[in-house]
Amino acid sequence: MSNDVSYTPEEVAKILKISKFTVYELIKRGDLTAYHIGRKVRVEGADIESYIQKSKGINALVSPITSPTQIERLNQGLPSEEGLVICGQDIVLDILTRYLEKQFPQVRFLRRYIGSIDGLMALYRGLANIVTAHLWDSDTDEYNLPYVRRMLPGHPTYIINLVFRVEGFYVVKGNPKKIVTWSDLTQPNVRFVNRERGSGARVLLDEQLRILGIRHKDILGYDNEEMTHLAIASKIARAEADVGLGIEKVAMQVSDLDFIPLQKERYDLVIRQEDLERPYFQALMSILKSPTFQNEVLGIGGYDVSRMGQIIAEV
């Protein structure tokens, strides 16, 4: 493989020994950088190599800790040599990672762009150190706490607020189909685009449909999935669908789009209780509570930082 050559998704699939559909999913999630020439997708050799190296880093991080050096570092409250894995898709996490990297330039902070349920499972399995969640439970009208209790049994955790966000519908500019409620998704002429299973937005939708007694098959496009808020917003703006679910912040970034607010959600960090006293997690808490970080998040718009850095619950 040459770093100076671009490859088709089919060629990338052969190089990585995966299916071409997996390649497209990697591109959608942003795990593998690609570009378009007309309708054709191309991936540079250098970006394939970068993806391979990142994958090696994550695998090394989560492999069993057997060397005396790794054990000694953990006993001192330090991470293993490879770094810390931070899971979640919001841009605020990218800013947070940048602050951590500035304080600890010798440490690799690895980002995994996965949804809330996958993040909690990664924390449970020891594949991540810091994960995010925005999972609404209709029985309790509570975010995250019921899910953490069920999905991390025997693993004491802290739920720490990052931000509050507004979840709502992305609709075509002018909202020509007058979509304002969950029930409007069942109109026969309304084309919906959904988030992937395991994402907080998908859980919110499915909980609301359960409450209203709406069947999945009653929604045109329920099985049409995208991996990010931005991908959904872009599809609506291009009139390839009429409505999708996402956060207000992304709607502010995409033209030819209107936003219909539905629900304010709590977007939290979840970490193991045993980690909180360790140096990197203490730095994390200090960053969250610092006016500099909070003002930067406020400056990009679309977020409420009123409880940022507060421990919401011990589970």
**Sequence spans of domains, the chain:** 1-63, 73-163+266-314, 166-265
- For residue 315 the two structure tokens come to 């589970």
Could you tell me whether strands 243-247 and 157-172 are parallel, antiparallel, or unpaired per DSSP bridges? antiparallel
For the cut 50, the answer to whether the pLDDT of residue 37 exceeds it is yes
Give the pLDDT score at 1: 56
Segment among 25-34, 60-69, 193-202 with least mean pLDDT:
60-69
CB-neighbour burial class of residue 59 (10 A; exposed 0-12, middle 13-18, buried 19+): exposed
Spatial distance between the Cα atoms of 65 and 102, rounded to a whole number of angstroms: 27
Spatial distance between the Cα atoms of 189 and 216, rounded to a whole number of angstroms: 16
Point out which residues pair with 259 in neighbouring strands: 170
Tell me how far the alpha carbon of residue 220 is from its chain's centroid.
25
Give the pLDDT score at 21: 67
Spatial distance between the Cα atoms of 129 and 115, rounded to a whole number of angstroms: 15
For the cut 70, the answer to whether the pLDDT of residue 175 exceeds it is yes
Give the CA-trace dihedral at 281, 272, 117, 295, to 10 degrees. Answer: -30
For the cut 80, the answer to whether the pLDDT of residue 61 exceeds it is no
For the cut 90, the answer to whether the pLDDT of residue 86 exceeds it is yes
| Region 211-230 average pLDDT | 94
Q: Comparing 51 with 95, which gets the higher pLDDT?
A: 95
Contacts of 265 (CB under 8 A, 6+ apart): 134, 136, 143, 164, 165, 166, 167, 200, 204
For the cut 60, the answer to whether the pLDDT of residue 244 exceeds it is yes
Q: What is the CATH number of domain 73-163+266-314?
A: 3.40.190.10
Categorize the per-residue pLDDT at 3 as very low, low, confident or very high, splitting at 50, 70 and 90: low
Give the pLDDT score at 184: 97
pTM value is: 0.74
Question: What mean pLDDT is reported for the chain?
Answer: 87
Does CATH place domain 166-265 in 2.40.50.140? no
**Which fold, 1-63?**
Arc Repressor Mutant, subunit A (1.10.10)
CB 157 within 8 A of CB 148: yes
| Two domains, one topology: 73-163+266-314 and 166-265 | yes
213: left (phi over 0), alpha (psi -120 to 50) or beta: left
